[in-house]
Amino acid sequence: MEYLINKFLMNFYKITESDSNYDILEKKSIKQLLEIINSEDQTVAFSVKKEISKINTLITKVIEQLKIGGRLFYIGSGTSGRIGVVDASECPPTFGVETDLVIGVIAGGDRAIRKSIESAEDDTNQGWKDLLKHNISSNDFVIGIAASGTTPYVIGALENCNKNKIPTGCITCNPGSPISLISKYPIEVVVGPEVITGSSRMKAGTAQKLILNMISSTTMIKIGKVLGNKMVDMQLSNEKLVDRGTKMVMDSVGINKNEASKLLIKYKSVRNAIKNYKK
């Protein structure tokens, strides 16, 4: 498999590695640099918009898997892996789901979240081994995240998922990449050259985060974790969130802060407080 990947990559053109549209950056003022970066960042959302149809198809399949008891996995390395871990880790406090419903897997393990272990991405077998630690099954859905679309760790994981009839998707910024060809539900968001040549933590990373926001948020809405426009199942884990929850109850049923606070304390969730008001 490694041989086939290397052979493919010999002739594969990576837009994410192409030369920047800007030069002599070190000679530019701070304001000029900020304007350049901001100008490029503004193009990312439009690039994502072009992929909405494919994102819609992927999310539809994700929801289908969750409804039969499956889970959603993100798997990646480096920046891509970290972005996946961040999005997954925010689902329990935001939507009140179990910690194992959306899972982020990163090459090198949790240590790689804080300290770069870039060489971990070169192992074509480790990604699948890491998924097996979670007892992955055909009920689950796995999204590979790789800006380049060529990360062996991710490619190997998705290839094994396909062999085991586990639905796969991907988010990449290079069309026609190995990860796109392997995935059943590929998303290819082309953002063009980075301001700093090859620094895919910039526009590519922003595109990946935007898409993950869309995937997790839309999925949670459609499985019933949002009421109206409120995060009614969020974890009330600190004073800020308790205060936000109290305001949600006040707005939803039209009562004062003191009454809303008492309901929230009694029922321990925004959803239950609203549901049981005056019952």
Write the pLDDT tens digit of every residue in 34-77. 999 999 999 999 999 999 999 999 999 999 999 999 999 999 99
Residue 130 has pLDDT above 60, yes or no: yes
- Give the active site residue among 121, 159, 188, 194: 121
Q: How far apart are CA 7 and CA 64, in angstroms?
A: 36
Convert the pLDDT of each residue in 67-121 to its tens digit.
999 999 999 999 999 999 999 999 999 999 999 999 999 999 988 888 877 677 8
Residue 23 has pLDDT above 50, yes or no: yes
Of 249, 256, 257, nearest to 275 by C-alpha is 249
Convert the pLDDT of each residue in 156-174 to its tens digit.
999 999 999 999 999 999 9
Every domain of the chain and the residues it spans: 2-222, 227-279
Of 211, 197, 232, nearest to 20 by C-alpha is 197
Least confident stretch, 9-18, 24-33, 252-261: 9-18
What's the rounded mean pLDDT across residues 222-243?
92
- The mean predicted confidence, pLDDT, of the chain is 92
- Residues 109-127, buried b or exposed e (16+ Cβ, 10 A)? eeebbeeebeebbebbebb
Q: How far apart are CA 253 and CA 136, in angstroms?
A: 42
What's the rounded mean pLDDT across residues 230-244?
90
Residue 2 has pLDDT above 70, yes or no: no
Residue 121 a catalytic site member: yes
249 Cβ neighbours under 8 A, 6+ residues apart: 255, 260, 263, 264, 270, 273, 274, 277
Of 92, 56, 45, 49, nearest to 169 by C-alpha is 56
Residue 3 has pLDDT above 70, yes or no: no
85 Cβ neighbours under 8 A, 6+ residues apart: 74, 104, 105, 106, 113
Helix, strand or coil, per DSSP, at residue 171: strand
Residue 260 has pLDDT above 50, yes or no: yes
Q: What is the pLDDT of residue 119?
A: 76
Which tokens go with 127?
A: 């990604």
Q: What is the pLDDT of residue 127?
A: 96
Q: How far apart are CA 139 and CA 69, in angstroms?
A: 7
Q: What is the pLDDT of residue 10?
A: 56
Of 100, 101, 99, 95, nearest to 241 by C-alpha is 95
Helix, strand or coil, per DSSP, at residue 140: coil
Q: Residue 5: which pLDDT band, with cuts at 50, 70 and 90?
A: low
Cross-strand partners of 187: 171
Up-side HSE of residue 5: CA atoms within 13 Å toward CB?
18
Residue 26 a catalytic site member: no
Q: Residue 7: which pLDDT band, with cuts at 50, 70 and 90?
A: low
Q: How far apart are CA 109 and CA 129, in angstroms?
A: 12
Q: Which CATH number fits domain 2-222: 3.90.1150.10, 3.40.50.10490, 3.30.590.20, 1.10.760.10?
A: 3.40.50.10490
- Cβ-contact 135, 70 below 8 angstroms: no
Q: Residue 17: which pLDDT band, with cuts at 50, 70 and 90?
A: confident
Q: What is the 3-state secondary structure (H, E, C) of 88-110?
A: HHHHHHHHCCCCCCEEEEECCCC
197 Cβ neighbours under 8 A, 6+ residues apart: 17, 18, 19, 20
